[in-house]
């Protein structure tokens, strides 16, 4: 846990290669070996060993008591719901749940660790094994998951630093993967899928910005073909998928640069600076003996019996992989669409609510297209959630239903959707269509008149089309829709236009 000694060369961050061609060259010569440790904050109302609230955003040091502040003589009491949540996770990843596990004291000093130690699990965790399946089909094995308490938070100002202990004692499960990951993209995919899983289980909100889902990455590299692992470095507290990829990529290049210059990679704990895109050494990497683990004397061993495991098995919801398979079968979606829609349980619920509202007016694939394109784009740009979104599933379903029933065109629908996103849906899309006079024209005689005017107004293009340039058909469709302000029924426009052009060709 010591800081690097003065004069010791620890890294060459300013000299590490960064461009794509150099990155490709490095990966031709070296194989990355990546293992991830994820700290997943559990969604219990109270802390791991006391009755203090776990709510985020309270005044500093408000959610505290003598137990989580580490006062002398206090005794921890294990939160039963924490264990239930932990069991659900283990069942979901097919891990081995141990009947007996033991809490331990992990000794270290930080200002935000009031007891001077953290209560965690060490050599006897509650579960081992399990796996996560990536989009590529690759299985990433899990080494273990264990229950532990969180530390507090240091808040640094311009002239002073403060300690907020609201988070001290908040329950976590730490999920440790085997070193099975070989590239940054798979690391990000693993984390996205893990986050989707814990959110589906409703045991963690997965909020990266608030720190309730954060990752430490262990990275080493070795020459291609070598079995022995290289020296690993750990990057601490990564809290966005983009930064996880960036940090791992840079660290791979940094280590390769050191080895290419005949230098050693030192085992260090690193921090990632998102502004510069570089990792920097924080301290030498700790080993388990540095923490002087020993069994927590104030807590009995944790016993999880078969009846309790079965009770939690019955409480499991539909998991993302099973839901994606169901979406493919039930809603006739592609594997890609199903994966996108089930990547977040609230998004999946939103999609199915829209499908129910549309009630067969359009195909479920068309609903998926709207949700994964128009709606997701605005949701991401405007930071909407899918539980109480500004445009509800009912309003989106009503808008899509208007297309299916031929009341408005897809073009008008997209214009309306943009307006709804900007100003809100008001009384709903149907009312907006009536108020703005946007009902689609389906009168073939009116459509025929507009098309004839378009053909007469574009004699040059008409002559080319009649001469065999069939691609100009799309030009006439576009001009007709433009003249009508997008109000013409597109299918009828196509049908009538073809009829009129064929007549003029025969002429």
Domain containing residue 410: 320-436
Residue 370 lies in a domain: yes
Pairing of strands 268-273, 278-284: antiparallel
Computed over every residue of the chain, the mean pLDDT equals: 91
* Two tokens, residue 59: 């005044």
Run of H or E residues at 217: strand 213-223
Whether 191 contacts 82, CB under 8 Å: no
Percent of the chain with pLDDT over 70: 95
DSSP H or E stretch at residue 255: helix 241-260
Q: Read off the pLDDT band of 507 (50, 70, 90).
A: low
406 vs 190: CA distance, rounded Å = 43
Extract the tokens encoding 251: 């660290």
**What pLDDT, on a 0 to 100 scale, did the predictor assign at position 5?**
41
> At 281, is the secondary structure helix, strand, or coil?
strand
Structure tokens at 307: 């009846």
Rounded Cα distance, 279 and 243, in Å: 11
In a domain, 278, yes or no: yes
Structure tokens at 271: 């921090």
13 belongs to a structural domain: no
Q: For the packed helices 345-358 and 320-330, what is the interaxial angle rounded to 10 degrees?
A: 20
Residues 78 and 173 reside in one and the same domain: yes
Does 312 map to a domain?
no
Last residue in a domain, options 409, 436, 463: 436
Helix/strand/coil for 152: coil
**Residues 432, 356 within the same domain:** yes
pLDDT of residue 21: 67
Residue 343 sits in the same domain as residue 383: yes
CATH number at residue 457: 1.10.10.410
Ranked by mean pLDDT, the top range of 51-55, 224-228, 493-497 is 51-55
Helix (H) or strand (E) holding 321: helix 320-330
Looking at mean pLDDT, say which of 135-139, 397-401, 495-499 comes out highest: 397-401
Whether residues 138 and 185 share a domain: the answer is yes
In angstroms, what CA-CA distances link 400 with 119, 349, 371, 386, 426?
53, 17, 10, 18, 16
Number of domains the chain is built from: 3
* Cβ atoms of 201 and 323 closer than 8 Å: no
Q: Which of 230, 274, 273, 237 is nearest to 252 (CA)?
A: 230
What is the DSSP pairing of strand 268-273 with strand 96-97?
unpaired
Beta strands in 69-159 (DSSP E): 96-97, 100-101, 103-107, 117-121, 127-128, 131-133, 139-149, 153-156
Same domain (yes/no): 332, 258: no
CA-to-CA distance for 166 and 168, rounded, in angstroms?
A: 6
Q: What is the pLDDT of residue 20?
A: 67
What are the backbone dihedrals phi and psi of residue 35, each rounded to the nearest 5 degrees, phi first?
Answer: -125, 145
State pLDDT tens for residues 411-448. 889 999 999 999 888 889 999 998 888 887 777 888 89
Distance of alpha carbon 193 from its chain centroid, rounded? Answer: 7
Q: Let me know: does 127 contact 145? Beta carbons within 8 Å.
A: yes
Residue 7 falls within a domain, yes or no?
no
What pLDDT, in 10s, does the model give residues 384-402? 888 888 999 999 999 999 9
The alpha-helical segments, DSSP class H, found in 71-178 are: 80-92
Q: CA torsion 394→399→400→404, rounded to 10°?
A: 120
Note the pLDDT tens digit of each residue in 289-346: 788 999 999 999 999 999 999 999 999 999 999 999 999 999 999 999 999 999 999 9
Q: How far apart are CA 101 and CA 453, in angstroms?
A: 82
38 plus 174 within the same structural domain: yes
Same domain assignment for residues 400 and 455: no
**What are the DSSP calls for 399-465, one per residue?**
HHHHHHTTSS-HHHHHHHHHHHHHH--TT-HHHHHHHHT-PPB--HHHHHHHHHHHHHH-HHHHHHH
The answer to whether residue 5 sits within a structural domain is no
Give 479-482's long-range contacts (Cβ < 8 A, gap of 24+).
Answer: 479/454, 480/447, 480/450, 480/451, 480/454, 481/409, 481/411
Is residue 1 one of the residues assigned to a domain?
no
Q: Which residue has the tokens 């927590």?
A: 296
Of residues 458 and 3, which shows the higher confidence score?
458
Q: Is residue 107 located within the same domain as residue 185?
A: yes
Return the H-helix or E-strand segment holding 221: strand 213-223
Q: Are 172 and 33 in the same domain? A: yes
What Rg value do the Cα atoms of the chain yield, rounded? 30
Closest by CA position to 105, among listed 294, 298, 302: 294
Q: How many CA atoms lie within 13 A of 33 on its CB side?
A: 16
Same domain, residue pair 258 and 356:
no
Residues 385 and 469 in one domain: no
Neighbouring-strand partners of residue 217:
36, 235
Residue 17 clears pLDDT 90, i.e. is over it: no
Q: Are residues 117 and 49 in the same domain?
A: yes
Do the Cβ atoms of 417 and 376 come closer than 8 Å? no
Residue 2 within any structural domain of the chain: no
Answer with the residue of higher pLDDT: 491 or 376.
376
**Is the pLDDT higher at 128 or at 482?**
128
Tell me the three state secondary structure of residue 271. strand
Averaged pLDDT, 232-249: 92
- Give the H/E segment covering residue 505: helix 490-506
- pLDDT the model gives residue 291: 87
User: Which of 386, 401, 436 is the endpoint of a domain?
Assistant: 436
pLDDT of residue 221: 96
The CA distance from 10 to 263, in Å, is: 9
Q: What share of the chain is helix, strand, coil (3-state, %, to 5)?
A: 40, 20, 40
Q: Count the Cβ atoms, other than its own, within 10 Å of residue 243.
A: 18
Residue finishing a domain among 436, 458, 479: 436
């Amino acid at each position: 846990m010591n800081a690097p000694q003065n004069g010791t060369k620890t890294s060459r961050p300013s000299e590490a290669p960064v461009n794509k061609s150099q990155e490709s060259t490095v990966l031709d010569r070296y194989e990355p070996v990546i293992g991830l440790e994820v700290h997943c904050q559990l969604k219990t109302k109270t802390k791991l060993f006391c009755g203090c609230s776990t709510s985020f955003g309270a005044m500093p040091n408000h959610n505290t008591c003598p137990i989580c502040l580490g006062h002398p003589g206090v005794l921890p009491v294990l939160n039963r719901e924490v264990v239930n949540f932990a069991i659900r996770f283990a069942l979901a990843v097919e891990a081995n749940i141990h009947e007996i596990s033991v809490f331990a004291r992990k000794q270290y000093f930080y200002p935000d660790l009031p007891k001077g130690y953290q209560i965690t699990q060490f050599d006897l965790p509650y579960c081992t094994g399990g796996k996560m399946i990536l989009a590529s089909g690759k299985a990433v094995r899990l080494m273990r998951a264990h229950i532990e308490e969180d530390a507090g938070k240091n808040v640094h100002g311009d002239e002073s630093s403060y300690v907020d202990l609201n988070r001290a004692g908040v329950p976590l499960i730490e999920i440790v993967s085997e070193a099975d990951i070989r590239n940054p993209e798979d690391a990000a995919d693993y984390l996205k899928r893990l986050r989707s899983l814990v959110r589906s289980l409703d045991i963690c909100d997965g909020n990266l910005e608030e720190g309730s889902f954060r990752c430490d990455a262990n990275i080493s590299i070795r020459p291609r073909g070598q079995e022995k692992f290289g020296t690993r470095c750990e990057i601490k507290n990564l809290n966005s998928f983009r930064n996880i990829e960036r940090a791992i990529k840079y660290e791979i290049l940094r280590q390769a640069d050191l080895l290419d210059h005949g230098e050693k990679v030192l085992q260090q704990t690193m921090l990632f600076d998102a502004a510069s895109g570089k990792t920097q050494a924080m301290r030498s990497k700790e080993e388990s003996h540095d923490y002087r683990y020993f069994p927590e004397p104030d807590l009995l061993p944790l016993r999880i019996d078969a009846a309790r495991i079965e009770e939690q098995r019955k409480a499991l919801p539909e998991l993302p992989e099973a839901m994606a398979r169901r979406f493919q079968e039930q809603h006739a979606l592609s594997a890609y669409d199903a994966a996108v829609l089930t990547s977040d349980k609230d998004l999946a619920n939103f999609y199915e609510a829209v499908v129910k509202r549309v009630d067969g007016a359009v195909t479920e694939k068309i609903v998926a297209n709207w949700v994964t394109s128009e709606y997701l784009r605005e949701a991401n740009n405007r930071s909407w959630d899918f539980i109480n979104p500004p445009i509800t599933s009912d309003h989106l379903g009503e808008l899509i239903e208007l297309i299916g029933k031929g009341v408005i065109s897809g073009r008008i629908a997209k214009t309306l959707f943009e307006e709804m996103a900007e100003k809100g849906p008001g009384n709903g899309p149907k009312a907006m269509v009536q108020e703005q006079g946007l009902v689609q024209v389906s009168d073939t005689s009116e459509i025929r008149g507009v098309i004839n005017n378009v053909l007469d107004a574009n004699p040059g293009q008409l002559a080319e089309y009649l001469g065999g340039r069939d691609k100009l058909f799309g030009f006439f469709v576009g001009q007709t829709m433009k003249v009508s302000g997008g109000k013409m029924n597109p299918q009828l426009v196509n049908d009538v236009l073809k009829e009129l052009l064929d007549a003029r060709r025969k002429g």
